[in-house]
Amino acid sequence: MGGFLDAALSFPAVVFTPLLIVVIGYWVVVIAGGADPEGDGGDGGFLGFLGLGGAPASIVLSLFIAVAWFASLAGGVLLGAVPALVLAGALVLAWVIARLAVVLLRRFMPAGAEPSRADFVGLTCVVRTGRVTATFGQAEVHSPDGSSAIVQVRTPGDDELRAGSIALIFDFDADGEFFWVVPADIATSPDQ
């Protein structure tokens, strides 16, 4: 055990040993339920600049630090005469492995938010039934991705909405599973 501690506390492994202790502590807190590992998965920032964006930062950094520590520990024991070269090699190896892991994680992570009915709010629709009332009506709406859907619509007032009319969806009623609409010309006309 003394040889292991000597290797872990000598250069170049000593650079990563405190970071590895922090990583282990972090994951103990995550397992205990005290933290959320689903951190920033964006492509921006420093990790994005390094080509490591797109996966949760906690996972990417933990993997990078663990691989860099192990590579510097093993390289320091095997190639002890050139510690600066071992440090550089450990950083490169850690980056390559973390980069491969990010590429694999991106394949299995969702690309964006799941679509929901609330995404239709603010869009216009075309009435497809003979009329729309407070209790009856259907309309066709086109989402930004080009797909269309026939949805249940209701109007809150006595607005005249007939087949072929353009209406603006302004709210979604989750309990009734329908959209509230008003004539598009009313929604876009300036106040008098």
Which pLDDT belongs to residue 155?
Answer: 92
What pLDDT, in 10s, does the model give residues 83-123? 888 899 999 999 999 889 888 887 777 666 666 777 888 89
Q: Residue 61: CA atoms inside 13 Å, Cβ hemisphere, count?
A: 19
CATH 2.40.50.140: does it fit domain 117-188?
yes
For the residues of 93-123, what is the DSSP string, one character each?
Answer: HHHHHHHHHHHHHHHHS-SSPPP-GGGGTT-
Which tens digit of pLDDT belongs to each residue from 119-132? Answer: 888 899 999 999 99
Domain extents for the chain?
2-108, 117-188
| pLDDT tens digits, 154-168 | 998 777 789 999 999
Kindly report the pTM of this predicted structure. 0.56
